[in-house]
Amino acid sequence: MKQGVDPDDLTRPFWEAANEGRLVIQYCADCDRLQHPPGRTCHACGSGDTLQWRQVSGRGRIYNYGVVHDCPIRLLQEDQPFNAAVVTLEEDPGIQMYSHLPGTPVDEVPVGEAVEVVFEATANGQKVPEWRVAGAQR
Amino acid sequence: MILVSFDIDGTLEEGDPPGILTMDFVRQVKGEGLLVGSCSDRPISAQRALWARHGIDVDFAVSKHMLGEVKASFDAEVYYHIGDREDLDKRPAEQAGFRFLWPHEAVAMPWTKTGSVRP
Amino acid sequence: MARGGRAAMSTPAPASVYRSGEGLGLWEHRGKVAAVGIGHSPTARRWDGKPANSVGGISLAALRGAIEDSGVDPADVDGLVMDPTTTTGAFWPQGKPLPWDAINAYERTDDPLDGITRLSAEWMLKNMPELTGVQFTRYGMGCMSSAICVAAQAVGDGRTHTCLVLKSWHNLEGRYYQGGANAGNAIPGSSAIRSLWGTPACFGTAVQFAEYCRKYGKSHDMMAPFIENSRNNGLKFPEGYWAQHRPEEITPEDYKAARWIAKPANLFDNDMPIMVSAAYLFTTAERARQLKQKPVYILNHASSRTRPRSLTPTLDEVEEDTARTARKIYEGAGITAADLSFENMYDGFALFHQFHIEGLGYRGIKFGEALDFYQTDISIGGPNPVSPSGGNIGCGRSRFWMHTDCIQQIQRRASSRQVTGVKPEVAVSGGPMPLGGNFTVWSSTPG
């Protein structure tokens, strides 16, 4: 079970959207550029006034992965070992999100395969974007 | 037959940090005819060197995640692992089918080859 | 200036101090700054509660060691550059009684944990009354690599002529990063975006290494000679943790049998947090020639301030930046890769050392070739020494063994670790990460 999340000012729109089953990513209107993790300012132009939240498709690809055997998070230690994948977004392969790839056997991760976002409840009920291999049974 | 696996650091007096179990205690358990060895994060070569330095002829020396292999390699009625960490000793030991003991519990055990063991 | 009041307002060095841009040309102080003294504290796995072994106590030992080693009169020291953060990941637990015996054993600042879990310049100077002439203090944040850049620039700029450089680490009981927020049931939204997936510290490096292996057809087992070499070198480093406390080799068989932390990073790809402090004494080239140790001249310092586009650097980002860093290192020093007698880039985590040395083009190796290079003679006795310090893998986590080693090798006082297959004339050290490090070029001559 993942730790719960207490949304803060910076990331509240991301978490609220997740609770609604939508994936939103911070976006700089001036640069026409997504950025993740979110920041107070655009990492490219430095502006704080041009940042918005943009809904994305929830489609991506598995870019890379590791298998966690010694996790620092107490709540996750019962689940060891588990996959920890780096997923990139279809809209912009430069944007990464982490995933446990629910449904994918440990260390049998198909790098390069398409994935789709799902939303998973954490310890305090806050939902979090997760990713499943596209076409895999839910 | 009983098999006893010892963690080293935090468990044995030679550990880093030192634990409460003396090398004489290990020698005594071994002397009862039990299968004895170590399962530690120390390099396997360093574990063997430690036992050799103390003149204890152990039956195995393995890395922390290898208790399952130990169980598969030795035929025993009961398998124990003694260690000082919940996450690095107790949980993997129980997952591998070992009974787990903290060092202070191990001291209180009547270690004999066929003697009483805790259910 | 009155004792104790000299450094109350010490601040981090501004970004402009670091040479992070490309095309800056030769460093304006090339060969005009030299290292002349080294001091190390003893190492320990964790603090034992004794005042002398606190992070403040061991820092005093290191600083006094560097002064003595250089032969400088303490009253002549006029600068102190250090990192005020000392944690290896351990923090004083909330609610735990403060260690007043240790706190009160020294002159205090307003913060009772100063000298215990952090370290200010003010604390150091309050507790070193022999340093009567210090008028310049500055913080080089993060590790010794940054403090060296700040100190070298300060000496070159004439802000201090005899400058101590200090980095210290504390480690307390408990497992690394297992307490605090990681033990809680909920975390703030901003940190959750990265940390909710429970990836340990080595994860980013592990996945970069996985990508590296896929791209170049390499395997984790090919790291074994590097690990074995690093530990062997570390066991010849009398100041190191493993040499002092647990003289254990890591054989290729040991390495391959180790448990995974975040596959493909295993236990021995990670370093072990320890308590340790090191200090250097830097001065001008002119003054250095009058002192008792052979001067080791600084030809350049260079920094990387590149940020990854997203959560963790991709292999492309790593390779672009290590190549860029190498161009900065060489340009400012006026050297090429062919001038390097040996390399001492950072290794904590072991799985990124190859990124550093491929970026440098050490011995002509290109991207994807370092693991093959590791299968050749990389020992201190051969023509291509790799990490002769042993680094963090060989000596414990400090992020400074490589700097000490460069100085000692060039001074030819690296004892049984002395390189013998090459003449120790020019070397490079630095880190920590491939993206976001600070690097120094050391030389036996001013250039």
Please give the distance of CA C390 from its chain centroid, rounded to a whole number. 12
The pair of three-digit structure tokens given for residue C5, joined into one six-digit string? 């009041």
- Closest Cα of chain B to C180: distance in Å? 16
Residues 6+ apart with CB under 8 A from C439: C145, C301, C302, C303, C304, C325, C328, C329, C345, C428, C429, C430, C431
Q: What is the pLDDT of residues A25-55, one digit of tens each?
A: 999 999 999 999 999 999 999 999 999 999 9
Determine contact: A40 vs chain B, CB below 8 A.
Answer: no
Mean of pLDDT over chain C: 96
At B86, is the secondary structure helix, strand, or coil? helix
Q: Which CATH class is domain B2-106?
A: alpha beta
Is residue A125, in this structure, part of any structural domain at all? yes
ipTM: 0.96
- Closest Cα of chain B to A67: distance in Å? 15
Range of the domain at A17: 12-133
Q: In chain B, what are the domain boundaries?
A: 2-106
- Closest Cα of chain B to A18: distance in Å? 32
Q: What is the pLDDT of residues C409-425, one digit of tens each?
A: 999 999 999 999 999 99
Is residue A3, in this structure, part of any structural domain at all? no
pLDDT band for A79, please (50, 70, 90 cuts): very high
Q: What is the pLDDT of residues C112-153, one digit of tens each?
A: 999 999 999 999 999 999 999 999 999 999 999 999 999 999
Determine contact: B77 vs chain A, CB below 8 A.
Answer: no
Indicate yes or no: CB of A69 within 8 angstroms of CB of B87.
Answer: no
- Across A114-132, average pLDDT: 98
Q: Other C-beta atoms within 10 Å of C217: how many?
A: 9
Is residue A6, in this structure, part of any structural domain at all? no
Q: What is the pLDDT of residues A97-113, one digit of tens each?
A: 999 999 999 999 999 99
Higher pLDDT, A8 or A136: A8
Kindly report the backbone phi and psi dihedral angles of residue A127, in degrees, each rounded to the nearest multiple of 5, phi listed first. Answer: -85, 155
Q: For chain B, how far is it from start to end, CA to CA, in angstroms? A: 15
The pair of three-digit structure tokens given for residue A14, joined into one six-digit string? 């991301």
For strand C260-263 and strand A59-68, is the pairing parallel, antiparallel, or unpaired?
antiparallel
Determine contact: C177 vs chain A, CB below 8 A.
Answer: yes
Residues 6+ apart with CB under 8 A from C104: none
DSSP letter assigned to residue C7: T
Confidence check: pLDDT of C93 > 80: yes
Q: What is the pLDDT of residues C61-80, one digit of tens each?
A: 999 999 999 999 999 999 99
Per the structure, the count of domains in chain A is 1
Is residue A60, in this structure, part of any structural domain at all? yes
Q: What is the pLDDT of residues C190-230, one digit of tens each?
A: 999 999 999 999 999 999 999 999 999 999 999 999 999 99
Q: Kindly write down the DSSP assignment for every residue of C129-144, as one continuous string.
A: TT-----EEEE--SSH
C402 contacts C233 by C-beta, under 8 angstroms: no
- Across A74-85, average pLDDT: 94
* CA–CA gap between residue C252 and residue C128 (Å, rounded): 46
Interface test with A, best of B86, B87, B88, B89 (most A CBs within 10 A): B87
- Closest Cα of chain A to B93: distance in Å? 13
Determine contact: C280 vs chain B, CB below 8 A.
Answer: no
Q: How far is CA A100 from CA A54, A107, A130, C145, C148, in A?
A: 24, 11, 7, 35, 40
Domains of chain C: 15-175+274-288 (3.40.47.10)
Is residue A71, in this structure, part of any structural domain at all? yes
- Across C371-394, average pLDDT: 98
User: In 3D, which of A52, A36, A39 has the Cα closest to residue A95?
Assistant: A36
At C352, is the secondary structure helix, strand, or coil? helix
Task: Encode burial over C9-45: b for 16+ CB neighbours within 10 A, e otherwise.
Answer: ebeebeeebbbbeeeeeebebbbbbbbbbbbbbbbbb
Indicate yes or no: CB of C254 within 8 angstroms of CB of B65.
Answer: no
Q: What is the pLDDT of residues C173-186, one digit of tens each?
A: 877 666 677 888 89
Radius of gyration of chain C from its Cα atoms, rounded to whole angstroms: 21
Cis peptide upstream of residue C84 (ω within 30 degrees of 0) = no
* CA–CA gap between residue C303 and residue C17 (Å, rounded): 10
Task: Encode burial over A101-115: b for 16+ CB neighbours within 10 A, e otherwise.
Answer: beebebeebeeeeeb
Residues of B at the C interface, defined by Cβ within 8 angstroms: 16-17, 41-46, 49, 62-66, 85, 87
Indicate yes or no: CB of B43 within 8 angstroms of CB of C249.
Answer: yes
Which chain B residue has the Cα nearest residue A69?
B65
